[in-house]
């Protein structure tokens, strides 16, 4: 039996007490503790960053000499340095050019906690999730430094295995992780932690993401 949905579980309460904007911050925190994807002084791109919980964790890890850029379709309340935020489509051609000219690309880490607008139909939602993950993967390969890390959320099911194989072709190390904060919700989401992009791998063609977007203010699930 799936666990009943509790919008104010222990992770929600812990986030509130610690001044974090979303319980999802603890997912990145766990990934960081296990795999050290964020380094002092590093540059980080956070896709689908609203409401800013992952930016907070990333900023803490990279420190004052680092840089964190959060991108979302919805405005994000201001964050202190070293974080900046942009209101932008994470997958527009214009954004890629802007990242290179103004966004301090290339990055040591690209993070994506993007999720589609859910339809309630599992097969459709899984496909949309993979679409977003594929686009995030393609962008990461354009802007990551050699030796960089890519963390992306994916819902299990559908073509997950094919996407996992694509990630393994693109990175030397790929791990499938289910953080405790995801388990607590009974969620089917997992995170792929991809490190050390392979040289000479062409970015996969990004699929159509019409109808898909970040979770915005509700992203902290």
Active-site amino acid positions = 153
Q: What b/e sequence results for 112-133 when a residue is b if at least 16 CB atoms lie within 10 Å of its CB, and e otherwise? A: bbbbbeeeeeeeebbbbbbbbb
User: Which is it for strands 43-47 and 67-72: parallel, antiparallel or unpaired?
Assistant: parallel
Number of residues that make up the chain: 221
Residues 6+ apart with CB under 8 A from 128: 116, 117, 119, 209, 211, 212
For tokens 């050699």, the residue is: 146
């Amino acid at each position: 039996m799936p666990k009943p949905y509790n919008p104010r579980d222990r992770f929600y309460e812990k986030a509130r007490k610690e001044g974090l904007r979303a319980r999802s911050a603890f997912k990145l925190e766990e990934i960081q503790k296990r795999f050290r994807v964020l380094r002092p002084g590093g540059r980080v791109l956070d896709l689908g960053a609203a409401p800013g919980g992952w930016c907070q964790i990333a900023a803490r890890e990279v420190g004052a000499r680092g840089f964190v850029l959060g991108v979302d379709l919805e405005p994000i309340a201001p964050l202190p340095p070293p974080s900046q935020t942009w209101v932008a489509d994470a997958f527009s051609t214009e954004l890629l050019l802007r990242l290179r000219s103004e966004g301090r690309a290339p990055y040591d880490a690209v993070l994506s906690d993007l999720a589609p607008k859910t339809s309630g139909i599992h097969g459709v939602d899984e496909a949309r999730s993979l679409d977003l993950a594929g686009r995030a993967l393609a962008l990461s390969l354009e802007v990551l430094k050699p030796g960089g890390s890519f963390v992306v959320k994916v819902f299990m099911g559908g073509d997950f295995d094919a996407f996992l194989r694509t990630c393994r072709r693109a990175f030397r190390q790929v791990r499938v992780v289910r953080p405790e904060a995801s388990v607590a919700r009974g969620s089917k989401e997992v995170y792929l932690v991809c490190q050390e992009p392979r040289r000479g791998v062409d970015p996969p063609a990004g699929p159509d993401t019409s109808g898909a977007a970040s979770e915005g203010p509700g992203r902290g699930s």
